[in-house]
Amino acid sequence: MNSPELPTLDLKHITTGITAAGLIDTAFHAYNAARLKEACQLFTTHLLREDVTIGLSLSGALTPAGLGTSCLVPLIQRNYVDWIVTTGAVLYHDLHLGLGFSFYRGSPGLDDIELRRRKLIRIYDVIIEFDAMRETDRWLRKVFEDPVFRQPLGSAELHYRLGEKIAESEKHLGLGGKTMLAAAYAAGVPIYVASPGDSSIGLVIAERALVEDTIVFDVSRDVNETAAIVNHAKRKGASAAVSIGGGAPKNFLLQTGPQLEDILGLEAMPHDYFIQFTDARPDTGGLSGATPSEAVSWGKIDPAMLPHAVTAYVDVTIALPLLAAYVLERGLEREAKRLYDRRPTMLKDLQTDFVEHEKQIGNLPPDFEPKAL
């Protein structure tokens, strides 16, 4: 007997020639498969609206696995991502491809002592030559000789300029479309790194600091710029957070809510939509496995929007290609927001909102004029 108040599962045969999106809609009915389908459908029906600003966090060795080229570059090129928070390692390995180096198929059972002898480095079942990393470091040293890098920089500006340089390398080598950095540069998508010293990019910058003036990271600028993006998004419409893998990038993406609401005193600032793919358990207390409802308690997610928050416990190397295939097939055309170019205006708006709030509650005198940013 059917229960009239519950929808039945729409069970159909999988047919020859079915697309990835068709497979997800047809056969992903329950458990984490259903959560992945809900995430894909939420992305296409809600997040891709013009009045939604999409922030994406990325962690894990995604670019050595090929997911930068196969998934992230097409999503950026279709304007399905507006801003990114990731790790320096993701971007460092992204650079290898734009310099003409390759990753190789390996095995988790290889002899690591023998690999070390042959100057090969293993990332689980992916192999990269040590020389590729050494040559990437040399390229970075050469790039950082440009005087434009010898000043305090936010990470978005650093990565935008690296994107410009690696786009030139791609063009010279005939490798267009390989790197996420070049795609983000072309689309005006700002890329932030929560821990800028925690990668080989940061290591090369630190090496240069021992002998010459070099980049000084303006971490406060990163915090304020990301808060300004969400502040701007909420002024104009809605903000979406998509977390691929968790970790520090997830927190940096989500902490914009507490920054705006708890620290700056601005109201109604949590994200409206939240999608998370993770293989971390929530019961260990770690951020990577923390649920959307837990994020509500921190002021990171709008409690009224919990029906528009989805967590799928699935390996991101499986989830990201399926998500990308689904939204690229089902998604509509979307205009580029070019948030990188709009950072100064958004930051000024945030400053104005904060100063006005401080004047209203008496923390600043009525005639106070803030410093120029």
Tell me what pLDDT residue 271 has. 86
- In this structure, the number of other CB atoms found within 10 A of the CB of residue 19 comes to 13
Tell me what pLDDT residue 289 has. 59
Q: Where are the domains of the chain?
A: 20-101+154-360
Confidence of residue 298 (pLDDT cuts 50, 70, 90): low
> How does pLDDT run across 185-197, given as a tens digit for each residue?
999 999 999 988 8
Average pLDDT of the chain, as a whole number: 91
* Assigned fold of 20-101+154-360: Deoxyhypusine Synthase (3.40.910)
Task: Collect contacts of 291-300 with beta carbons under 8 A, ≥24 apart.
Answer: 295/254, 296/270, 298/254, 298/257, 298/258, 299/257, 299/258, 299/261, 299/262, 299/269, 299/270, 300/241, 300/254, 300/255, 300/257, 300/258, 300/270, 300/271
The pTM score is 0.92
Confidence of residue 220 (pLDDT cuts 50, 70, 90): very high
φ, ψ (nearest 5 deg) of residue 358: -65, -35
pLDDT greater at residue 312 or residue 150: 312
Tell me what pLDDT residue 307 has. 73
Share of the chain above pLDDT 70, in %: 92
Tell me what pLDDT residue 293 has. 61
pLDDT greater at residue 285 or residue 223: 223
Q: At which residue do the structure tokens 């069970």 appear?
A: 11
Best-predicted range by mean pLDDT (135-139, 330-334, 358-362): 135-139
Cβ-count burial of 298 within 10 angstroms (0-12 exposed, 13-18 middle, 19+ buried)? middle
> How does pLDDT run across 34-90, given as a tens digit for each residue?
999 999 999 999 999 999 999 999 999 999 999 999 999 999 999 999 999 999 999
Residue partners of 316: CB distance under 8 A and separation at least 6: 60, 62, 244, 245, 277, 278, 279
The residue among 286, 290, 256 whose CA lies nearest residue 276 is 290
Known catalytic residue: 12? no
- Name the active-site residue from 37, 165, 178, 300: 300
> How does pLDDT run across 347-371, given as a tens digit for each residue?
999 999 999 999 999 999 999 998 8
Tell me what pLDDT residue 247 has. 87
Tell me what pLDDT residue 1 has. 52
Chain centroid to CA 322:
17
